[in-house]
Structure 1
Amino acid sequence: MQDTNTMDQAKERLLAAALPHVPFDGWSDTTFRAAVADSGLGDALARAICPRGALDLAVAYHKAGDATMQDRLAATDLTSLRFRDRIGQAVLFRLQDADPELVRRGSALFALPQHASEGARLIWGTADAIWRALGDSSTDLNWYTKRATLSAVYGATVLFWLADTSDEKQATTDFLNRRIDNVMQFEKAKAAFRDNPLGKMLARGPLRLLGAIRAPRDTNDLPGH
């Protein structure tokens, strides 16, 4: 049996061989076959590494982008930034290291009904990676709401970024800041509601059950898995 490191290295090799083909053939079986040939891994090993073919390579490309973003965040001093600006910087890091054409092809793949749930899991995973990198320690319902909100912001920003032709993608930065402003306004409204008499009454009654909700134990137990 291949050890984990060897299999990971083989997947990286297969993915690297696939990337030049994706702009022309998408994340398709044509691309996968070309990657197998170019990597020299052999079809049996390639299929063992990626049983779903190009879909698994597209997933690997997305997760590699998450890992690169986390490395950049770990190497960057964000202490002088407001927390909302740290989130914005994390999203921008994620986009800056991505190839628009590869992402566009991935968006088309994950828009297909049979792959939509996989795409949603990946976006949720990116949101989770950002929150964890920024030190989020929530373990209750807030764990879910933070990631759900950021998933929506990230997904919308990616779509805008793919169509952005402005210098240095400045329009994307402006769009992202507006979306984060919207979220902050919602959070303020939510806090105000919690502090008013009706909010306090609901917190003691119907909403009390929400207090029992707990975050998943590890990253393999994210919603959708």
Structure 2
Amino acid sequence: MNDDMKQALLDAALMHVPFDGWSETTFKAAVEDSAVDPVVAKALFPRGAVDLAIAYHKRGDAQMMDRLEAATLDGMRFREKVIFAVRARIEAVDDREAVRRGTTLFALPLYAADGAKLIWGTSDAIWNALGDTSRDFNYYTKRATLSAVYSSTVLYWLGDDSLDNQATWDFLDRRIEDVMRFEGAKAAAARNPLVSKLMAGPGRILSSIKAPSATRRGDLPGGGGI
């Protein structure tokens, strides 16, 4: 029942976001339009429209996961799987203006941490869906790198007026290519005896950093969003 009311409030809010953004005005209108009791609505979304914006992002993540689970990724190179996943996340968006308004909201200092955590959660979901098993420092570098790729691609997509968003997909392909070149350079450096000796000390420190446990706290990186 609570989930139904959450979805009803979110659907109602999306009708107002293009005009009033993710604001208190939008939240009040959503409560009125959905006929959800105001006290219940506030209990479901304590911070009002901010929590609605978070719910909208999470809805997109869930739709992305549905598409990934239904897709046949066998035979794809790994970079192609990552590109497919990022595209699936962006294509899950049915309201570009809602994302634009959300980007503006989460750029505010007060909500920047919320926005960063959402992007991290999206990247974490993609890596987990693609079978990442890293439990060391690579766990964090993979998600940080993908977060940068995903967020820059979304910003590009917001201004893209090309046919079928082809300019965005070309941009995404270039960003993934940049990452692959960087990873190749890292691997080559690791094979260099001189570099290996220089990095021995930092390497021991980094090797002590582990991924969150299965019972990790929700407010830590990798906690799966908000």
Following the alignment from structure 1 to structure 2, what is the Cα–Cα distance between the partners of residues 221 and 140? Answer: 19
- Residue 185 of structure 1: aligned partner: 181
Question: What does residue range 1-225 of structure 1 map to in structure 2 within 5 Å?
Answer: 6-98=1-93, 99-218=95-214, 220=218, 222-223=220-221
Q: Which 4+ stretches in 1 moved above 4 angstroms? A: none
Alpha-carbon RMSD: 1.4
User: What amino acid is aligned across from residue 223 of structure 1 in structure 2?
Assistant: P
Conserved in 2, the CA contact under 8 Å of 1:131 and 1:147?
yes
Bigger proportion of residues as helix: 1
Q: Could you tell me whether the CA contact under 8 Å between 2:212 and 2:222 is conserved in 1?
A: no
The CA distance in 2 between the partners of 1:198 and 1:35, in whole Å, is 62
- Which residue identity lines up with residue 96 of structure 1 in the other structure? E
Gaps of at least 5 residues in structure 2 are none
Deviation larger for 46-55 or 194-203: 194-203
Q: Distance in 2 between matches of 1:39 and 1:198?
A: 65
CA contact (8 A) 1:18 1:32 kept: yes
Shift of residue 167, structure 1, vs aligned partner = 0.2
* Alpha-carbon distance in structure 2 between the residues aligned to 1:195 and 1:184: 17
Give the whole-Å Cα distance in 2 for the aligned partners of 1:137 and 1:22.
Answer: 39
SS of equivalent residue, structure 1 residue 51: coil
SS at match of 2:111: helix
Alignment partners' CA distance in 2, 1:198 and 1:152: 30
TM normalised by structure 1 equals 0.94
5+ long unaligned stretches in structure 1: 1-5
Asked whether the equivalents of residues 23 and 101 of structure 1 are also in contact (C-alpha less than 8 Å), the reply is: yes
Distance 1:210 1:9 in 2: 45
- Percent identity, aligned pairs only, is 60
Aligned length: 220
The answer (yes or no) to whether the contact 1:140–1:213 under 8 Å persists in 2 is: yes
Change (3 A) 1:202 1:221: farther
2:9–2:30 Cα contact (<8 Å) kept: yes
Deviation at 1:80, TM superposition (A): 1.7
Q: Which has the higher relative contact order, 1 or 2, with Cα contacts under 8 A spaced 6 or more apart?
A: 2
Q: Secondary structure at the match of 1:27?
A: coil
Aligned-partner residue type, residue 190 of structure 2: R
TM-score (norm: length of structure 2): 0.94
Aligned residue type for 2:221: P
1:160 touches 1:172 (CA, 8 Å); kept in 2? Answer: yes
Deviation of the 1:221 alpha carbon: 5.2
The change in CA–CA distance for 1:97 and 1:154 in structure 2 (over 3 A counts) is same
CA distance in 2, matches of 1:10, 1:57: 12
